Chains A and B, each alone.
Chain A
Amino acid sequence: MANRCQFENSNDIGVFSKLTNSYCLVALGGSENFYSVFESELGLSMPVIHCSIGGTRIIGRLTAGNKNGLLVPNTCTDQELKQIRNSLPDEVKVKRVEEKLSALGNCIACNDYVALIHSDLDKETEEIIADTLGVEVFRTTVAQQVLVGTYCCFNNQGGLVHPLTTVEELDELANLLQIPLCAGTVNRGSDIIASGLVVNDVAAFCGLDTTSTEITVIEKIFKLQDKNKQNLEVQIRQDMMQELE
């Protein structure tokens, strides 16, 4: 299910939170509304951890992670790192990365199996990503943008990319990632996909401005719909095709 929410009037959910299949990070200082939306949807299965990185709240754009691990930038203080490590499940490896491009969330887009990274990331960082997150790493661009982490967002079932991505690029990326991809927008036409949307295999959260068309696209491509609803749709489609025949 895709849910709409806001962090202190901002529709940029992906800036203030990070969602994976085994944990969720949220920034400090938001209203209770924001946290309650997450907690009610994710339930008790997943820890929702309040934290900050380098004294800032833009944790979604600074960190990159999946169910296997979490990477934080060198701006993260020892105290913050300790707090995150203590709050995360034991299986999740946390690593601080010494990298010039410190906004890891903007440079890395990943699910539990594959990661796309910024073309200029260090070789050492690439190895850390492969090791900590347990993923296959590809250096690529999305719609001629190097900030892959900003302009695309994917889970293990599907992905959403920048609206100006060409069909050839879509095919190429879909091949790399082995999941279906779709070009689209969030938050009423914003092309900064990852800042407006966080998603894992069971839930997605997007800004309040997201239109119902955008939500429909998101639910379809990330396969978040109810199984019953999906079956119903298939049935309706089949009936319509029969009538046309």
Chain B
Amino acid sequence: MSQDKRKQRDYEDDDSEEEEIEQPINLHNKGDMEEEINLDFVFLDPNQKQFHSIKTFINGYLEGISFKSSELANIICDQVELGTMVGQEDEDNVFGFTTILNIGEIKSNAIGEILHYVDAKSQQYNKQHQQLQHILQTPKKVGLFINERILNLAPQLIPILHNQLREDINWLQKEDPNNSLTNLDYLLVITKCFKDNDQQKQTQKKSTSDLNDLIFQKFEDYIFLQKSFVSFRFLSEGSKQTQQVSDFMKTEQDGQICYRLIYLIQLKDYLAQIVNIEQYVQQ
């Protein structure tokens, strides 16, 4: 039923399920010639054909810990009414996507495992653990916000991904106000950030929890964190594991330290901050 509703939406050009945005991207050769390659990206509704791409993105969600990622990927692909994917015409590969899942509504082991993970890490590292626990006691009001993409996706596409989520929510409020996704208060976000591994710098700085010290894999996390309700971070287990393998190859400590970042943001704050993403990209 929800798929029919999707098709009734009015789009500017036609009544297809896709929006086409042409983004001319300039690529510079190291040589003398400047080559311009035009790439067409398409924004799509979730569908089952994208399962493999989504699964690849979701695999690392809990930093290498085994969980039912196939189930989660299935849920994301099936939720047509809310969620947007960036891909190319006629191809099932997805370069990035955003979606929100109602953790109270969805009966899935995967969601249970994710909540268990968040709870465990929060107990260990979160100074505001009580607040987080309190909010998670009404799971129907909390949405799991999943925002993944390939590292070098063109930044011009990001505001569109988030705007689409806002439009989806608005559409749902009009067409299906009883849908669980329209009554969310908070969004739970699990993401990654980095910090320079410079010992000298660290001893000089007084506060190590300054947002400006962190390097974000997705720049919008910085924007959302400024309005976050509860947030905490901790050293990523994954980085310790891969270090085991390649330690003998490294002669010195280099690179960056990887942190896992978990935060709660109120839905209204999230929607308000989307404007700031656009401004950030235009800078």
Contact = CB atoms under 8 A, between A and B. Distances in A.
A9 B244 contact: no
Specify which of A9, A10, A11, A55 lies most central, judged by the most chain B CB atoms within 10 Å of its CB: A9
Interface in A20-77: 28-29, 31, 33, 52, 55-57, 77
A29 B65 CA distance: 11
A28 B66 contact: no
B52 A28 contact: no
Contact of B66 (A8, A188, A209): A8
B114 to A, nearest CB: 13
A6 interface: yes
A28 B244 contact: yes
Contacts of A56: 245-246
Contacts of B64: 8-9
A55 B69 CA distance: 27
Interface in B48-91: 51-52, 55, 59-60, 64-67, 69-70
Contact of B60 (A9, A29, A189): A9
Nearest to B241: A29
A33 B65 CA distance: 12
Given A9-B59, A189-B52, A52 B245 contact: yes
B124 interface: no
A79 interface: yes
A6 B55 CA distance: 13
B236 to A, nearest CB: 14
A17 to B, nearest CB: 15
A29 B51 contact: no
B66 A6 contact: yes
B283 interface: no
A31 B242 CA distance: 13
B1 interface: no
A208 B245 contact: no
Interface of A: 6, 8-11, 28-29, 31, 33, 52, 55-57, 77, 79, 187-190, 208-209
